[in-house]
Structure 1
Amino acid sequence: MIEMKVAGIALDAATRSPIVLLKDSIDRRALPIYIGQDQAKAIVSVLENQAPPRPLTHDLFVNLMEAWDMVLEKVIIHSLQDNTFYAVLVVKQGEARREIDSRPSDAIAIALRTDSPIWVMEEVIADASIPVDRDADEAERRAFREFISTLSPDDLIQKGRFSSGEAQ
């Protein structure tokens, strides 16, 4: 899993649909997730430190967790199926720990309100992320190609710890 932070909210140029943009800690990968207007407002309000006059739905959820001595340990965006992201809230109450199914947008809105980490499975990042730093990606590819070009079959045998005397 890779920890990601909310970089902001953007609008899709064609559809004008809101997108929450998550970035990894080294700003190499970004994960765009389409969300609803209400969830975008809930996320933006936290990012801009706007307090509503009355609790909104995500605030209510956080208030309930606090009233019942529950802590949001983390959010995990764990899969992507048919262009739909899936997430869970990992909630702890005393020694009990539960995973609660959630839309990623709601999970992110609650994580921001509780200052909880947002984690994304590597498979999801591999399938849906976009590169942020193309120059760094290209430099990494060149370094890998250079490394591969210097390897000989003997290097692979030694590095893989395979030899004719070992059981396979």
Structure 2
Amino acid sequence: MIDLDVIGIRLAAPEDVPVLLLRESGGTRLLPIWISSVDAAAIAIVLDDSEQFHRPMTHDLLANVLDEVSNGKPGTVNITEMRDGVYFATISAGSFVFDARPSDAIAAALRLEWSIECPEQLMDQVGVEVDRSETDEVEKFREFLDTVTPDDFENENP
């Protein structure tokens, strides 16, 4: 099994379907999973460390139930396969294994800080090879864009 890190959610354009990007830990391959906007929002709340709602949302409830089922012990999300363009996943919690959509499973796993993994065969089949330095540079540039203001570009010598 390959351990996966959640890199983030990307949109090529506002009208595009969100893509959840998972990278093999310590590797250079990405596993892209197209997800709904609702699932992207549920994942983004955790990734962005956004303010939590006063009442539990659906993925918070799922995480709470999984935590109880596993008796507080860490579980695992396994992206098991892709069949006819659709990804499949399981959630292992205690002695239970649940069939799940990858986006739901990952939204819960992020809330619980559980590991996410996939079989080597799946990564070989659908993984996308990227140059690690290129993705690091893109991430640094995105961080810069998140912090820059128009005042940063004012000319000191008019």
TM tier, smaller = 0.7 to 0.9
Q: How far is 1:58 from its partner?
A: 0.7
Tell which structure's C-alpha radius of gyration is larger.
Answer: 1
Aligned residues: 131
Which 4+ runs in 1 deviate beyond 6 A? none
Distance between the aligned counterparts of 2:35 and 2:56, measured in 1? 21
Q: How far is 1:55 from its partner?
A: 0.7
**Residue of 128, 131, 144 corresponding to 1:130:** 128
Q: Which amino acid aligns with 1:62?
A: A
Q: How far is 1:87 from its partner?
A: 0.3
Instruction: Please give the residue correspondences for 1:6-21 in structure 2 after superposition, counting only pairs within 5 Å.
Output: 6-13=6-13, 16-21=16-21
Distance between the aligned counterparts of 2:123 and 2:6, measured in 1? 14
Do the aligned partners of 2:63 and 2:109 also contact (CA within 8 Å) in 1? no
1:65 maps to 66
Query: Considering only aligned residues, what root-mean-square deviation do their CA atoms show, in Å?
Result: 2.0
What whole-Å deviation, never above 9, does each CA across 1:87-132 have from its counterpart, x for those lacking one? 000010xxxx121000000010011000000001112111111111
Instruction: Verify: 1:104 aligned to 2:102, yes or no.
Output: yes
Do the aligned partners of 2:76 and 2:114 also contact (CA within 8 Å) in 1? yes
Instruction: Please give the residue correspondences for 1:1-168 in structure 2 after superposition, counting only pairs within 5 Å.
Output: 1-13=1-13, 16-50=16-50, 51-68=52-69, 69=71, 71-92=73-94, 97-133=95-131
| Structure 2 unaligned spans of 5+ | 134-158
How does the TM-score come out when normalised to structure 1? 0.72
